[in-house]
Amino acid sequence: MPIHNADIAAIFTEIAELLEIEQANPFRIRAYRNAARIVGELRREVRAMIERGEDLTELPGIGDDLAGKMREIVDTGKCNMLEKLHAALPPAITELLHVPGLGPKRVRMLWHDLDVQTLEQVARAARDGRIRALPGFGTKTEANILQAVEAHLSKARRVKLATAAQYGDSLVAWLVGARGVERVEIAGSYRRCRETVGDLDILVVADADSDVMTRFVGYDEVAEVLSHGPVRGSVVLKSGLQVDLRVVEPAAYGAALCYFTGSKAHNIAIRRLAQDRGLKLNEYGVFRGRQRIAGDSEASVYRALGLPWIAPELREDRGEIAAARAHRLPQLVELADLRGDLHVHTRATDGHDSLRDMALAAQALGLSYIAITEHSRRMAMTHGLDPRRLAEQCDAIDVLNATLSGFVVLKGIEVDILEDGSLDLPDAALARLDLVIGAVHSRFDLPRAKQTARILRAMDHPCFTLLAHPTGRLIESREPYDADMLRIVRHAKSRGCYLELNAHPERLDLLDTHCLMAKEEGVLVAINSDAHSRDDYANLRFGIGQARRGWLAATDVLNTRPLPELRRLLAKPKR
């Protein structure tokens, strides 16, 4: 079975969490957590690196022991150390770790003090009021745990978009090699760039004698074949992800792509449009009586309904049909529109590559500028910068810029917004910078009024430029903090500062609805990679998808501007 980076990262994360439950050496735990993060964010497949004979120990934080385990996982799909940990702990313990708010320390207490080992037992203990009695828990924590467990038990399994991309891209590459295949495309929520994906829907156009279906069910990563027919098949991959494949004729390809892309609400709305015109719309085409009048392309389907083509990311029945009728659909931003990246880290803090390497990698991708924005000193675990080290980095950026041609590195900082709304570094240190990104990294639990006031006060600082990952959420592991986003957006407008769309696949923050809110209020959004290595610029792909879901055009995005215009915009908040 081909092993993807997500598989290796998941194994290392689970090892770290089980070691923490066992109260193992903290340095050992941290090594596995760091390895999981490094591998998870790596945009090159470890499997391919091994096949090319590359030295895995050249990856930051990866020594001989971890490199050996990575090779073991790629070769066998398993890790002997993880299996030993599973044998030593109750079998259901790992599932508890998937519940937001139940980290290893709390899981250990529930297990040792209450003999709780399963989700159902946690829920029962919470309903009985037994969890609140544990040290450090309390009534509110108990209620939050019960709510999180019940939500976890009720929802279907979904995977993050970037994880689904690893499995989907590999499978598409496999199917393209089948005999007689003309087109292969992933539809569904994946094509709409939803933050998480429940399954993959794949459409194929192929010759009648194609072996694509046999190739599909025979794929190395298939764990179970649910169905297998000449034009329809369904499998479950060893990762647990279900994949459905449909072979369609060329004349129906566009209609099928519309149908299987969704969303359900959008499909219902356009079927009603068809009915209003005396037409019938289904996955096989647009019909007037028995005659198919459209269906070979998506554009033909929408044209038959009196509409221009609607981008997949907009198909959520949130006003896109009315906008299409009125010819008000935006020309959505594309990856090629980005001129730079305004949130980049180096090994000066918690990044993995040098200042020069990060600049050259961005230039090689066609960007014309980046902003280096290390963490500030309060983020001690990331070796955040104090004023002296920040000044030294600014000097190093000046030296580097003198050697670069056609590319500029801007000076910045990702400064912590403290609980009272003040910034983590003094004004004198911030004044030398081209931009200041403010970020909330602590006290996510503040009440709505205090959290909002904290952010507004930070934005009032004369050096403040950009609000990083504005809701603080981590997809499926940390809910957004409670803040009045409309007030924040409007305050950004009045202050002349901006909002970030953090493209890291764990964040994708701004939410798509907040992107649209910013657009409507006239606040520019910066689509940033939050890169911690050269490979992380690939995150921008997912940020673009989120921006498109939020109706953003290139003109709504700060870092689509050429450098002279960007400098003018960055200077606005300081006036």
Quick one: pLDDT at residue 113?
A: 86
- Same structural domain, 372 and 339: yes
- Same structural domain, 395 and 534: yes
> Which residues form the domain of 296?
255-325
Which of 275, 299, 325 terminates a domain? The answer is 325
- Same structural domain, 457 and 542: yes
Residue 330 within any structural domain of the chain: no
- Same structural domain, 414 and 369: yes
- Same structural domain, 136 and 279: no
Residue 114 within any structural domain of the chain: yes
Which of 289, 304, 325 terminates a domain? The answer is 325
Give the CA-trace dihedral at 97, 101, 102, 106, to 10 degrees.
Answer: 150
Instruction: Indicate yes or no: pTM above 0.75.
Output: yes
Quick one: pLDDT at residue 155?
A: 63
Which amino acid belongs to residue 381?
M
What lies within 8 Å, CB to CB, of 464 at 6+ separation is: 423, 436, 438, 458, 495, 497, 573
Number of structural domains the chain divides into: 4
Structure tokens belonging to residue 511: 């939410």
Which of 154, 189, 205 terminates a domain? The answer is 154
Ranges under pLDDT 50 in the chain:
574-575
H-helix or E-strand containing 159? Answer: strand 159-160
**Residue 30 main-chain phi, psi, to 5 deg:** -65, -35
Quick one: pLDDT at residue 416?
A: 96
CA distances from 141 to 103, 111, 115, 133 (A): 13, 17, 18, 11
- Same structural domain, 362 and 413: yes
What is the distance, to the nearest Å, from the Cα of residue 385 to the centroid of all Cα atoms in its chain? Answer: 27
Residue 468 within any structural domain of the chain: yes
- Same structural domain, 279 and 405: no
- Same structural domain, 263 and 309: yes
- Same structural domain, 363 and 227: no
- Same structural domain, 429 and 567: yes
Residue 486 within any structural domain of the chain: yes
We report the CATH number of the domain holding residue 106 as: 1.10.150.110
We report the CATH number of the domain holding residue 201 as: 3.30.460.10
Residue 127 within any structural domain of the chain: yes
Quick one: pLDDT at residue 116?
A: 79
Quick one: pLDDT at residue 100?
A: 76
- Same structural domain, 186 and 268: no
We report the CATH number of the domain holding residue 272 as: 3.30.210.10
Quick one: pLDDT at residue 396?
A: 97
- Same structural domain, 230 and 318: no
Quick one: pLDDT at residue 157?
A: 72
Quick one: pLDDT at residue 575?
A: 40
Look at the block and give the residue holding tokens 């770290």.
16
We report the CATH number of the domain holding residue 371 as: 3.20.20.140
